[in-house]
Structure 1
Amino acid sequence: MVAWGLGGGKRCGAVAGVGRGERWASLRSAPTYDGAQLTGLIVEVFRKFSSVIVLINLKGVKMLLLDEIRDNWKLDAKTENGHRYFYHINEVDKIKNGKRSYVIGRKGTGKTAISEHIASVREYDVFSEKLSFKNFPFNELYNLKNAGYTAPNQYITLWKYIIYSHICKMMSRNESVDASVRDKLKAAFSPEPINSLQRWIKKWTAHDFSLTVFGVGGKMGFKENVENNSWIQKVDILESVIDDYIDNSSYYILFDELDEDYKNIIDPEQRNNYTHLLTGLFKAVQDIKSIFREGGRRVYPVIFLRDDIYSIITDPDKTKWDDFKIELDWSRDRIKELLAFRISRAVGVGTPLMDFKSAWNKLFLDQSVFMGHMQNKSMTIFDFIERSTHLRPRDFVRYIHSCAENTPVNFSRISAKTVKDSDKAFSNYLKRELVDEIHGVIPDIQSILDIISQIRKQAFSEAEFREIFEKKKEEGSIVQSDPVFILRILFLFSIIGNQPKQKNQTVFRYLNKDAELNFSENFVVHRGLYKALQIM
């Protein structure tokens, strides 16, 4: 028989201040168990204790999931952990193998994430330079045009020179390139990574920049606005060097954030300068691809550009660019796959990828969101979030991040109430995003959105819009004089859509990029902007 006595969390014989006789009496009065009873007791205690530990661990995992989303889900791909969260879509392989060179899409559709991913590849035979034009003084580029060519071809030579210079720069740090060639390239093109694109371009186009190229011409002076044949000669020399000495490595030159000078586009001179510069870049890339396509030369310049900017570029050969173009479009199913991936990665880097339903239920409670005047209508949490977005990854990341931020710290999953309460914060975010996008086309976009706020209706007619528009124009708060142009731009960016006569039907361009604004139908405001525009 075994005696089992507990006293104050210690063995009763070890309780301080208890005499020997008292201890013995206490021990004699404790319940006694045979071996089988004791084993059963231990098993029962262990079972209950283990259940508590499992519950604590499960809740801890979910709490860690919310903390991970709060702290590490970012809107800007440059500040997020790409190794953990980059979602590999099929289009990426086509870019990496050189089959596609133009990546076109709305803000928030993943252009920068792809460019960051390619730039982060670390392999012995892969080299990349990411050329970000954020805060770049575009006037310096406009001044470097080749006056020997008519518009819009006057910038092709400049872009080819920039691309070739960066390829030579990458070759200078490639151990597979002949050492004597590398040394000569290093003398002219410092192999250090780019910290300031403006600094490198200014250096390579300055009057005192010179290089000796393998017996081809001695000292070469690189000056702004030099003679036409000098520009062409420089490009020809670099092209010959690359063709003669490049190895089988892959060289990526990634052009991103080219929208920096996308402003005041309604001014003809500004619009022509900007679109001609971009047209020259597309043509330069097209030309370079045709030159190095043969012989296994892996020279891969890639342009990442917003679709609304791409749409204003005009050129007789633009349809030919479709052969090298990828448009980043997201469907409901693709968004679900992306979210399943991100939630799985948020749980842990080594976590097996879950299907959408499993991943979603780890993060959200299985509840419906109730709506309507009497709260008698309902929809799933995903559907409620989706209808406020433009079906862009960034929109969902922002909405879910807001929900995580608004979830009480003692909650392990996001409730329907939290999702509904986060709608206003998301609406304000979406409005800011759209203002940033449209400002280059309509500088007084904020005043235009105020018109919709004053109408204060989900659906309105062209006449209602015109009435307030004319008043604001008389007040001087709106510079643009054409309301039709304004409405077309609002439709282009899916701030408004059409309301057909069929019930519960709407037409938005983000769902159908070929859709055109129909002035014979009412206009409807996108659901995600209701709160930000004070529409009830």
Structure 2
Amino acid sequence: MIETDNFSKLRTDLIKEIATNWKLEAKSEDVGRYFYHMNEVEAIISGAKNYVIGRKGTGKTAISEFILGLGKTQKGIFCEKLSFKNFPFNDLYELSNLKYTPPNQYITLWKYLIYSVICRLMLKNNNINSQVRKSLSLSYNTDPITNLPVVVSNWTDANFKLQNDTKQPSNLSWIEKVNILEGIIQKNLDNEKYYIIFDELDEDYRDIKNIEEFKPYNNLITSLFKAVQDVKNIFRLSSLNINPVIFLRDDIYDLIKDTDKNKWSDYKIEIDWDENKIKRLLAFRISKAISTSQHVLNFDKAWELIFHRSAVRMGDKQSKEMHTFDFIARSTQMRPRDFIKYIQACAEDTYYNHGRFIYPQTIKQVDKAFSNYLKAEVEDEIQAILPDIPQIFQVLSQIRKWNFTVQEFKTAFANYVQAGTIKETNMDFVIQALFNFNVIGNLPRQRQNQFFRYKNKEARINFNESIVVHRGLFKSLQIL
């Protein structure tokens, strides 16, 4: 195909944009340009859904950043994001309400924080009565929350006063403080939209087999869900648009055990991806990489703007062929972050080598670096459940096969336990955890399809079938 100079420049600029400006972290990226507006987002913005559950890398933070951006760009929307990254959770554990039994002892604390954030947001709204805002300004300010631990510490201090009332005692209980704020909000809040975003709550997610360490965290997170449910119920019949939104990893959510959990489904939305959704996302991102005003191309046209049409050749004699998208997809766990990482790395290699297309050779070269990335991602995810995961990966490397029997794994694993290299002795638990986090899947006897949990969340490990290691981990585990 003969290209004009303009088309060649467009392609070069497109490769450069992807190489330099596509980011793994939504907070580091131009969300206004690259945010893909899924149907699920409408349910969150409308207030119909308040619990956003999904695997790591599925776009939860991107959604939270998008909502936060609405508060900066659209009139009548007020947002505050509470990020618990690097938060000293022990400070929160000490603020339990002993009048309630576990796991409910933190509900009042969470409601107090939600109402305090709303009061802060009311200060930014000129439609709120000026005297009310003046009174609230004596307790709160509108400065961006850059140090959440300090803010929470100030608000929860015993001497913190909620408004300029000299008769107010300094030793109010949590319930009394919540009732005061609730009254202020009910009496003075207008019908604009208020969002309180809870994100990065996995910071204190620890070894779940250590019951005493995990229990406080579990109680705290459970109380947050109940507090949000309580707030929604309190204001359900009013015209007030108060929308606390929790973003949480699905593996943590699955560990929550509570008699009220079934009721949460009314407020819950799960972020899942399949091949068609991923293709629509990539078509959108490639189109917007051309220009923010570019209409969204169909997938095939968008893909062929950056990837050469030739297939990836595989096998000992390079006799097998695979479409470039399919080759990349098989190394991923069908998450947006995986595809962004892989394509960005391909574009970077192409750009710095002055290429005009991403060729199959580049895709195959990037596969090893991507494998190391995926291994690091999995280690980070699974560490709280399997602290021995680096050593467990060594077991898989020692087996050095992409498929094997459960007994083969247990034999190799037992050697590490006997040598003291691995402390975890429950092999069935380890296999189940590896399956849950998509390190391994099942390979049925007919070998037509491999079963991984990311393809079907309801899938369960079959100990009577062969185990297959995820293709994306082959290179990092030195599996031939």
Q: What TM-score, normalized by structure 1, do the two folds share?
A: 0.87
What is the Cα deviation at residue 59 of structure 1?
1.2
What is the Cα deviation at residue 470 of structure 1?
1.3
1:335 maps to which of 278, 297, 306: 278
Distance 2:82 2:209 in 1: 27
Distance 1:220 1:335 in 2: 56
2:364 maps to which of 394, 399, 420: 420
Distance 2:117 2:356 in 1: 49
Aligned-partner SS, 2:273: coil
1:73 equivalent to 2:16? Answer no
What is the Cα deviation at residue 220 of structure 1?
4.3
Aligned-partner SS, 1:447: helix
1:445-464 residue pairs with structure 2 within 5 A? 445-464=389-408
Letter in 1 for 2:55: R
1:205 maps to which of 156, 164, 168: 156
| Equivalent pair of 1:212/1:220 in contact (CA under 8 Å) | no
2:416 maps to which of 472, 494, 507: 472
What is the Cα deviation at residue 265 of structure 1?
2.1
Distance 1:343 1:218 in 2: 61
Question: Per-residue displacement from partner, 1:367-416 (whole Å, max 9, x unpaired)?
Answer: 10111112111110000001110110000000001111222533111011
Distance 1:59 1:123 in 2: 38
1:105 maps to which of 50, 54, 65: 54
2:184 maps to which of 233, 238, 241: 241
What is the Cα deviation at residue 273 of structure 1?
0.7
Question: Per-residue displacement from partner, 1:80-100 (whole Å, max 9, x unpaired)?
Answer: 000110010011111011000
Question: Per-residue displacement from partner, 1:208-250 (whole Å, max 9, x unpaired)?
Answer: 311336x7x833436xxx8xxx111111111111011000111
| Equivalent pair of 1:133/1:257 in contact (CA under 8 Å) | yes
What is the Cα deviation at residue 480 of structure 1?
1.1
1:118-517 residue pairs with structure 2 within 5 A? 118-121=67-70, 122-212=73-163, 218-221=167-170, 230-407=173-350, 409-517=353-461
Question: Per-residue displacement from partner, 1:256-275 (whole Å, max 9, x unpaired)?
Answer: 00000012222101111111
Distance 2:466 2:142 in 1: 59
Question: Per-residue displacement from partner, 1:14-54 (whole Å, max 9, x unpaired)?
Answer: xxxxxxxxxxxxxxxxxxxxxxxxxxxxxxxxxxxxxx9x7
Question: Per-residue displacement from partner, 1:452-504 (whole Å, max 9, x unpaired)?
Answer: 00000111111111112111112211111101100000000010001111223
Question: Per-residue displacement from partner, 1:296-322 (whole Å, max 9, x unpaired)?
Answer: 110000000000000000100101111
Question: Which structure has the larger Rg?
Answer: 1
| Equivalent pair of 2:20/2:348 in contact (CA under 8 Å) | no
Question: Per-residue displacement from partner, 1:395-441 (whole Å, max 9, x unpaired)?
Answer: 00000011112225331110111111111111111000000000111
The farther-off stretch of 425-434 and 191-200 is 191-200
Letter in 2 for 1:114: I
Distance 2:406 2:201 in 1: 34
Letter in 2 for 1:518: N
2:34 maps to which of 85, 98, 104: 85
What is the Cα deviation at residue 330 of structure 1?
0.5
The farther-off stretch of 418-427 and 111-120 is 418-427
What is the Cα deviation at residue 204 of structure 1?
0.4
1:523 counterpart residue number = 467
Distance 2:235 2:110 in 1: 16
| Equivalent pair of 1:211/1:220 in contact (CA under 8 Å) | no
Distance 2:412 2:445 in 1: 25
Letter in 2 for 1:349: T
| Equivalent pair of 1:136/1:260 in contact (CA under 8 Å) | yes
Unaligned runs of 5+ in 2: none
Distance 2:135 2:419 in 1: 65
Distance 2:315 2:169 in 1: 73
Letter in 1 for 2:248: L
Aligned-partner SS, 2:184: helix
1:96 counterpart residue number = 45
CA RMSD between the two structures: 1.4
Distance 2:180 2:141 in 1: 18
Aligned-partner SS, 1:183: helix
When the two structures are aligned, how many residues end up with a matched partner?
A: 477
Distance 1:244 1:294 in 2: 14
1:115 equivalent to 2:64? Answer yes
Q: What TM-score, normalized by structure 2, do the two folds share?
A: 0.97
Distance 2:446 2:107 in 1: 50
Higher relative CO (CA 8 A, sep ≥ 6), structure 1 or 2? 2
